Structure 1
Amino acid sequence: MTPQELVLNTIAALFVDYDAEAAKELLAHDYIQHNVAVPTGADPILGFIPALKDSGIAVTTHRVINEGDLVVLHNTYDNAQLFGANAFVAFDVFRVENGKVAEHWDNLQIPVTETASGRSMTDGPTEVTDLDKTAENKALVQAFVADVLHGAAPEKITDYISTETYHQHNPMVADGLEGLGAALQEMAEAGQDMRYSDTPIVVAEGNFVFTASEGVLGDTPTAFFDLFRVEDGKIVEHWDTMSGIPDEMPHDNGKF
């Protein structure tokens, strides 16, 4: 199986078929977990499958991005009370090694239905295109993250984001550069400055580039998982999830 097939089969075994035997064959025994509420290893997940089945949890995968041994899923989880809410929008990142799913990172956010842009947190284009531009688009987003999100040269934002089309799926931000600027100003005035400090994961496939970053929102350590769509050399669309990073987790692997 390809990494993408392996990951999608694992998601089906866990959240659709509730098949512990199938999941056991797909997960590495020493599976490394970064979810902030789940212990590390395959056994805790396998033991949780009966509760998942009883809960009626349902997963919808909106987008899949695959580069090398990393696979990113843009998911919605419904009937997700076991996770702490009725529903979550999530980015799940999996690393594949030796034909097994070996590591998992995620970031979950309760969906907001009334958004500043009128767009949902998951709608918009899903098709991966422009495979020949993967490296170019990845470099563009990495430069944007360094210059704008990490603050090296924020004045260069128009080098990266289209001034004509910028569709926004963050529920608090309106479309366009004007919407982004207004939201950032409001956050700053409310004492909720958003600052990125490190971006350890970048995954690109064609027109989509995903980044997972650590930083702070106000004074709260926060994980920022962002998905960008690139068209004609500019960022034209953005999805994200944000979640606080707790001090204590049931493992020593950290959020990243």
Structure 2
Amino acid sequence: MSVTETVLNAVTALFVNFDAEAAAELMKPDYIQHNPSVPTGAAPLLGFLPALKESGLTATPHRILTEGDLVVLHATYHNAQAFGAESLVAFDVFRVEDGKLAEHWDNLQAAVPADQTASGRSMTDGATEVTDLHKTAQNKTLVTNFIDAVLYGKAPETITDYITPDNYAQHNPLVADGLDGLSAALQAMADAGTPMSYKETHIVVAEGNFVFAASEGYLGDQHTAFFDLFRVEDDKIVEHWDTLSPIPTEFAHENGKF
């Protein structure tokens, strides 16, 4: 079984079938958990499955990408009040070891309908097909350099080296399409006293035309996790999805957010 198949089978067992026995076969007992609210280890999550089933939780996958032993799943969870909202958009990152889930990171944000977003796009629609596998390394370098130069603020004036001004589809609910939309949103954040700043990127996963990055930084003075997914086409970033979530000061474990 490939690492992608392992993750899909485990997620199905956990959040579709709520089958603790099947899920346990695909999880290491010392499963390392980074979700702030869930204790580490396989047992606590498996023990939570009856309550999740009772809640009516459903999972809708949108995108999946894999690099090495890491798999990124972009999904929507409905009836997800147990995790904080009726509908949540999530990026789940799994590390697979010896054919089992060994570690998990995630970032959840309440879903915003497309008719309430600045771009008119939902947080999850858009392109889904993985293409250009031969350009995985090149696209990963492009996005990594973009994060370093633009999101870290080292050389923001170079943004058009990475994004064409009029060809940038945005799925962040507060940001309109194009570079004008991004600039306006960033200025609005600054004016509101909540400027966005990236400080460290912990995970980068690339497959073909998709590159995912998990970073931390601040919105104003709020310690925040930024999980970003970029689609690259013809050596430019043309589409972006993300979830933002505050990083709490207290965790159900000692593993931290990252």
Q: TM-score range by the shorter chain?
A: over 0.9
Partner of 2:208: 206
Match of 1:180 among 179, 182, 197: 182
Using the alignment, how far apart are the partners of 1:242 and 1:18 within structure 2? Answer: 27
Partner of 1:238: 240
Partner of 1:226: 228
Q: Which amino acid aligns with 2:236?
A: K
Partner of 2:161: 159
**1:5-154 aligned within 5 A:** 5-113=5-113, 114-154=116-156
SS at match of 2:111: coil
Partner of 2:252: 250
Q: Which amino acid aligns with 1:126?
A: T
Q: Which consecutive aligned stretches of 4+ in structure 1 deviate over 6 angstroms post-superposition?
A: none
SS at match of 2:185: helix
Q: Which amino acid aligns with 2:4?
A: Q
Q: Which amino acid aligns with 1:168?
A: Q
Using the alignment, how far apart are the partners of 1:118 and 1:178 within structure 2? Answer: 15
The answer for unaligned runs of 5 or more in structure 1 is: none
Alpha-carbon offset, residue 163 of structure 1: 2.1
Alpha-carbon offset, residue 234 of structure 1: 0.2
Q: Which amino acid aligns with 1:252?
A: E
Using the alignment, how far apart are the partners of 1:162 and 1:69 within structure 2? Answer: 32
Partner of 1:195: 197
Q: Deviations over 1:184-213 (max 9, x none)?
A: 001101101000000010000000000000
SS at match of 1:112: coil
Using the alignment, how far apart are the partners of 2:66 and 2:201 within structure 1? Answer: 18
Using the alignment, how far apart are the partners of 2:188 and 2:17 within structure 1? Answer: 45
The answer for unaligned runs of 5 or more in structure 2 is: none
Q: Deviations over 1:227-248 (max 9, x none)?
A: 0000000000000000000000
Using the alignment, how far apart are the partners of 1:254 and 1:161 within structure 2? Answer: 33
Q: Deviations over 1:52-74 (max 9, x none)?
A: 11111000000001000000000
Contact 2:165–2:180 under 8 Å retained in 1 = no
SS at match of 1:21: helix
SS at match of 1:204: strand
SS at match of 1:117: coil
SS at match of 1:22: helix
Q: Which amino acid aligns with 2:229?
A: L
TM-score by length of 1: 0.99
Instruction: Give identity over the alignment, percent.
Output: 70
Using the alignment, how far apart are the partners of 1:163 and 1:80 within structure 2? Answer: 36
Alpha-carbon offset, residue 164 of structure 1: 3.0
- RMSD between aligned residues: 0.6
Alpha-carbon offset, residue 132 of structure 1: 0.3
Alpha-carbon offset, residue 166 of structure 1: 0.2
SS at match of 1:225: strand
Using the alignment, how far apart are the partners of 2:165 and 2:182 within structure 1? Answer: 11
Q: Deviations over 1:105-164 (max 9, x none)?
A: 000000112000000000001000000000000000000000001111111100001223
Partner of 1:3: 3
Using the alignment, how far apart are the partners of 2:63 and 2:103 within structure 1? Answer: 19
Q: Which amino acid aligns with 1:112?
A: V
SS at match of 2:21: helix
